[in-house]
Amino acid sequence: MSNPIRIGIAGLGTVGAGLIKIIQKNSNILEARAGKPIKIIAVSALSKSKDRGVDLTAYEWEDDPIALAKRDDIDVFVELIGGESGQAKKATEEAIKHGKHVVTANKAMLAIHGQELASAAENSGVNLRFEAAVAGGIPVIKTLTESLAGNNITRIMGVMNGTCNYILTRMEDTGLAYEEIFEEANQLGFLEADPNLDVGGIDAAHKLVLLSSIAYGTQVDFNGAILEGIGRITIEDIKAASEMGYRIKLLGVSSLSDSGLSQTMRPCLVPLTSPLAQLNGGTNMIIIEGDAVGQIVLRGAGAGEGPTASAVIADILDIARGINIPVFGQPANSLIKVPAISTSVENSFYLRLNLKDEAGILAKVSAALANVGISIDRIRQEGHEKDAAPVIIVTHPTDRDTLNKAISEIEETSAAIDPPVVLRIESV
């Protein structure tokens, strides 16, 4: 066997502790597969005394992750601190500068600074690997950069946030309101410290833009992504979707056209027959469509100690094996910057409106849609007792920009009591 691959781990939360457990438990397997031992040299975290359920006595301690990144006796710096900037970014930059390979689970950092860090890593001749940053234990990065490298990728879509999927499926299963299930998820520890990262679609969008960069050879563009969270989804929407043969999912969709790059993270309706509709709880699913392979589906645990640590160790093994792949699948200086667009594809849409209970109001809504050329496929009005009349409309295929014009006209008429809920109906 060769000399060991020496690693330093910054961040000893759930994933960091899980990584140490895997290395301690499976050391013989890892050595056989890597062709050399995997040896932890030093670790760093905020508190040295905290009980993390794992023995750290064999490793040197660094209070400062940047000091850890500079150590001469490590080959791979594992960044598990988190956050788009701060110490995570500084330590990563120092590791690259000092010729260390970097393995990270930090989707936010890469979604914002990916182009810069990729260029730095490739100029320094080191790896920057991030399998764990997207969809936990699902090997979607490796799939795109390696297994599907011969394909022209035409579309990526998926459920990329387990917390949102848990909330939506629990609402359907229990009939409880969003607020109640949100609190349940919070009590179970599913939500980020800032819950909007989950329910606002930000966490999932970080993942989507990383996949888009690999799939289409474009520079990472988080600011160009269109985000809409699940906070306005009601149990009535869940029930109405089910009755029409759909389920609601927070769905990321990206595609590249001659007009530009479309990256959306929004609640959508998907057919009950689609693989996405069968996805329950905190599971993730990524669907990739390529010109040669057709459609493939990747499904598995999108978070958690074991799955995410499994992805981290996979990247470490690749480095130990001498595998060196450009960060986003092709050299960073070849990634193109393209315009951000909403979408180039027409879809049907679900609209829920709370209309004033007055004569002629529905006619105003129909006229606003007709004025921009949108025809109605289905319309449903439920019985009501209050002044608001809930109406559900399903349109024939149109584009979102055209629909937005109609919605603006509806709002100008003051027909609706509050802004409509708009959900794209996605074919899968």
- Residue positions annotated with a catalytic role: 207
Positions of E strands within 302-386: 340-341, 348-356, 376-381
DSSP conformational letter for 218? B
> Helix axis angle, 400-412 relative to 361-371, nearest 10°?
140
Q: What span, in angstroms and rounded, lies between the C-alpha atoms of 4 and 244? A: 58
Q: Please report, for residues 2, 128, 287, the alpha-carbon distance to residue 73 in angstroms, rounded to integers and kept in the order given.
A: 16, 19, 41
**Residue 233 φ/ψ, nearest 5 degrees:** -75, 125
Q: How many residues does the chain have?
A: 428
Amino acid letter at 321? R
| Neighbour count for residue 50 (Cβ, 10 Å) | 10
- Sign of torsion over alpha carbons 355, 357, 358, 360: positive
Q: What span, in angstroms and rounded, lies between the C-alpha atoms of 42 and 134? A: 26
Q: What span, in angstroms and rounded, lies between the C-alpha atoms of 299 and 286? A: 7
